[in-house]
Chain A
Amino acid sequence: MNNSTKKDGPDTDLRSLLKHQHKRVYSICRLFAHNYREHQHLFTNIIAAASQNIRTRKDNSDDKQTMLLRACINMAALHSISLELEPAVDRSIQFKSPDYQRSMTNFREAMGGVSDLEKFRLFLEFEKVAPEEMAGLTGITLGSRNLNRKKEPDTTRKNFIPYLKEKLIWS
């Protein structure tokens, strides 16, 4: 590889972080991918998203971990949305390695048909992320009534021109 390519490539910190943390990415792929093609696709997308997130925020290493986890969660959500858009797609577990195939089948059977939110919670649990950090990663505070802010506008703060406000302020 020549120098110019190296110059354009990721910085050393980012490279080492991604190399050290790539097992986390494998973990979320395990929860969301059905076959090796999906696994590879999701893996590369998460790595690309994480590097984009980290490059845009040059902060401390804790923040980098958060950026990586957010990339994992957001890309997994997009993966699920993309699968929903293609209802005819084959969702059976198909991996070449017999051991991995067996483990995946057993794990999916044990997990059952859980929702994506549960999968995110499992992922964070398995990756030993503190439960209080979940709100920062998903934006979800359990039991909070403010979750559906978009659907239930705050009636106490009545706006004098609600229609205009809705049109002008994009939230």
Chain B
Amino acid sequence: MELKKLLQHWNSFPEVSMEERPVLSSDLEKIVVKNPLSDAFYLRKKLVIRIAVIAGLWLINTWQFRHEWITQGNELYPQGALFVLLLGSLYFHIRLLLFADYPTLLALPLLNFLNKLETVLDKFILSFKFISALAGFYLLFGVEGLLARISSGAAETLSRNDWYKWLILIFLSVSVDILLLHTLIPRYRKLTDTVKKYRDGIVSKAQNK
């Protein structure tokens, strides 16, 4: 590749025809407020929705946990575990949102930008583990509620037997995790791998120079 030849080609470029040229002046007001990141890379909305939902669930759980604590109910330990899990999930999601810092993300130098993008996507994939665990808890409560309606005897046995409860909880959480691994996660995994491959390509090219 000869730089002089390329420069010659570059300087002989005609202007883009008017019909192809993106309009700048009249659309500038609209363009500057547009979000430059596509949905695949922009996880802010998803994170905010999750934070709002988890915060709501945590408030409800706090009240239920307090009630179980006062009455020394059968659900004290599951509610306690759920309290810790919701708090952990809330912390993780808020931290991820603050770390991503979308308004300044595109102002980073290329490598730092790609590194950060990869970390955010990686942590977002990790956040599905929290979702699986939370889904396990709420599905368990759903199963308990259903049993209470269908067979009060079975519901009573389950509520008194902690081992069954924890085993069902683990089974449900792992099932949801496997479901997510095959439905939602591959999309993000593919995206992370592509970003990583691209970054590694840039780095290896730079190192070879």
- A116 in contact with B202 (CB, 8 Å): yes
- B190 in contact with A85 (CB, 8 Å): yes
Name the B residues within 8 Å of A143 (CB-CB). Answer: 207, 209
Name the A residues within 8 Å of B109 (CB-CB). Answer: 70, 135-139
- A85 in contact with B1 (CB, 8 Å): no
A48: interface (CB < 8 Å): yes
- B22 in contact with A8 (CB, 8 Å): no
Supposing A81-B194, A110-B9 touch, asked if A74 and B106 sit within 8 A by C-beta, the answer is: yes
B123: interface (CB < 8 Å): yes
Which has the most chain A C-beta neighbours within 10 Å: B7, B29, B33, B206?
Answer: B206
- A107 in contact with B29 (CB, 8 Å): no
A142: interface (CB < 8 Å): yes
Interface majority SS (helix, strand, loop, mixed), chain B: helix
B183: interface (CB < 8 Å): no
B107: interface (CB < 8 Å): yes
User: How far, in Å, is B61 (CB) from chain A's closest CB?
Assistant: 25
A61: interface (CB < 8 Å): no
User: How far, in Å, is B119 (CB) from chain A's closest CB?
Assistant: 5
Question: Which chain B residues numbered 68 to 123 have a C-beta less than 8 Å away from chain A?
Answer: 99, 103-104, 106-115, 119, 123
- Binary CB contact string for chain B from 4 to 22 against chain A (1 if under 8 A, 0 otherwise): 0111011011111101101
> Which of A1, A46, A103, A147 makes the CB contact (< 8 A) with B12?
A103
Name the B residues within 8 Å of A100 (CB-CB). Answer: 13-17, 20
Question: Which chain A residues numbered 15 to 45 have a C-beta less than 8 Å away from chain B?
Answer: 15, 18-19, 22, 26, 30, 36, 39-40, 43-45
Supposing A96-B17, A147-B203, A150-B115 touch, asked if A110 and B22 sit within 8 A by C-beta, the answer is: no
B151: interface (CB < 8 Å): no
A129: interface (CB < 8 Å): no
Name the A residues within 8 Å of B34 (CB-CB). Answer: 44-45, 48
B205: interface (CB < 8 Å): yes
A65: interface (CB < 8 Å): no
- A10 in contact with B107 (CB, 8 Å): no
- B205 in contact with A117 (CB, 8 Å): yes
> Which of A48, A84, A95 makes the CB contact (< 8 A) with B194?
A84
A-B contact pairs, 12 of them (CB 8 A): A9-B28, A52-B36, A75-B106, A85-B190, A97-B16, A99-B14, A100-B20, A106-B9, A117-B205, A135-B109, A140-B206, A147-B207
